[in-house]
A and B are shown apart, each in its own frame.
Chain A
């Protein structure tokens, strides 16, 4: 059953999805996921982030039917995966590629052989396999390693074989289960760049799960945060990262975005204002304002002295995002005016406390 107007439809939709596992020797099943509603946009890179045991892998594995939902529906390219029969499920799986944390390459097959495997499984004639595999090897830049066995490859090279293998049957969707978690930062960078490139070149929908916010920040345009089997926050990465609403999101974001409060400041800070105290403000820059010298203008326009205590500017989903911790010597009314001035210019402020 194909829905019409596929292009502006989500590539993957979770509708009220739940999953519980029967437990050996116990009456009560474990609930791994509950009430999941999520639309994964087509041709974009979306991230699902959560702590260990939150249910990320279970959620991802439902997209290609490795796991079936016990409630709700998972719709992939118009197919109801949970209700699909054996033949339809195989069809769906060929249109959904998957890469893994530990690569899962066959040790007895070379790079070439591993990439050829899904084609052999799909019954592609041998004469067509060779050119297709060579094309994929070129796509991931492994020409020199084509005849090597996985044991002779580095982690990053193995994952590139995994990516090429996942793309062999020209899937529309790529699932990634912690694909960079076993790699060092430099290699992670390269693999993420590759994912981003194939997303652009092939218009592939990528759904990746991770416990590293940095991965989502670097390549994810959309993000969902999952906690104990439920989605607690979702949206465009930029929006979620610049204004996280759930404590779990905030704790994930710590150290990934924004600034860490310097210790000397945190120790001296008091919650309430008293005359003679300076107000500590976190100012969040988003979008084009990030580069505007807004604070300097605050000084000249209002005659306020602004001390910058800590700050960072970075990129989320290719948009600049920054936050500064500043202190202002201003009594409550002047502070309110200053904040209003900043808000008018698209900045967000939050009072963190007061120091002498």
Chain B
């Protein structure tokens, strides 16, 4: 493989990492509070707001059921409004983030709902406010689940980011299509796939390690 190709692969990997990192960051910053809100605003819950919950749930479902490639095209005007262009790595981050928000929100909602309701009851009995319950009980106790949810989000984003080649998003997926498929260079395709596998493995392993560290439920040897 030529030095030129290796440079291309390096560049594409960095572009992918850049897109994934930024959309995970922004998507989680917006999606996590929404997920928590979805969990605690159901009927009879801590901050019951069933109407708002239903509306938000509907929006989340609608976004999640739109195929990603259609989402990319559908929100081009919005992308252009935000980044000033509809082409390029930065432009690709917009649809990636928009797709990440509901994804993260649902995963975090599930993680928060897994928290034993007895803990909420105990905190209420201590005189905790709903905000205190979220901050001191729900989020810390759901942290292992939240970590796994974000891990899954990153893994999915690595896949999605390969699709944004369609709007000139660059990155590994784009490289694989242009060189590996269109110019018929199977070694490039193989290298791209290999890098993607390694990336996913790394993220998955790191995420699981982190989640295990946060999880105090199962007794284990902590070197004490």
Residue ranges of A at the interface with B (Cβ–Cβ < 8 Å)? 64, 66, 89-94, 96-98, 100, 102, 104-109, 117-118, 120-122, 149-152, 169, 175
Contacts and interface: CB of A to CB of B under 8 A. Distances in A.
Contacts of B126: 93-94, 117-118, 121-122, 169
Interface string B115-151: 0101101111111110010001100110100000000
Contacts of B214: 108
Contacts, number: 67
A66 B121 CA distance: 8
Interface of B: 116, 118-119, 121-129, 132, 136-137, 140-141, 143, 214-219
Contacts of A105: 122
Give the interface centre of A93, A108, A150, A151 by most chain B CB atoms within 10 Å.
A108
Contacts of B124: 66, 93
A106 B140 contact: yes
A157 B132 CA distance: 26
B127 A93 contact: yes
**Contact residues of B: prevailing secondary structure:** helix
Contact of B122 (A104, A107, A152): A104
A93 B132 CA distance: 15
B216 A90 contact: no
A66 B216 contact: no
B140 A121 contact: no
B125 A98 contact: yes
B132 A149 contact: no
Contacts of A149: 216, 219
B219 A151 contact: yes
B219 A91 contact: no
B161 to A, nearest CB: 33
A121 B219 contact: no
B118 A104 contact: yes
10 contacts: A66-B124, A90-B127, A91-B127, A93-B127, A94-B127, A96-B125, A98-B122, A121-B126, A149-B219, A150-B216
Contacts of A97: 125
Contacts of B136: 117, 120-121
A66 B125 contact: yes
B133 to A, nearest CB: 9
A122 B127 CA distance: 8
B219 A108 contact: no
A90 B123 CA distance: 11
B125 A107 contact: no
A133 to B, nearest CB: 14
Contacts of A89: 127
Contacts of A92: 127
A314 B1 CA distance: 90
A181 to B, nearest CB: 14
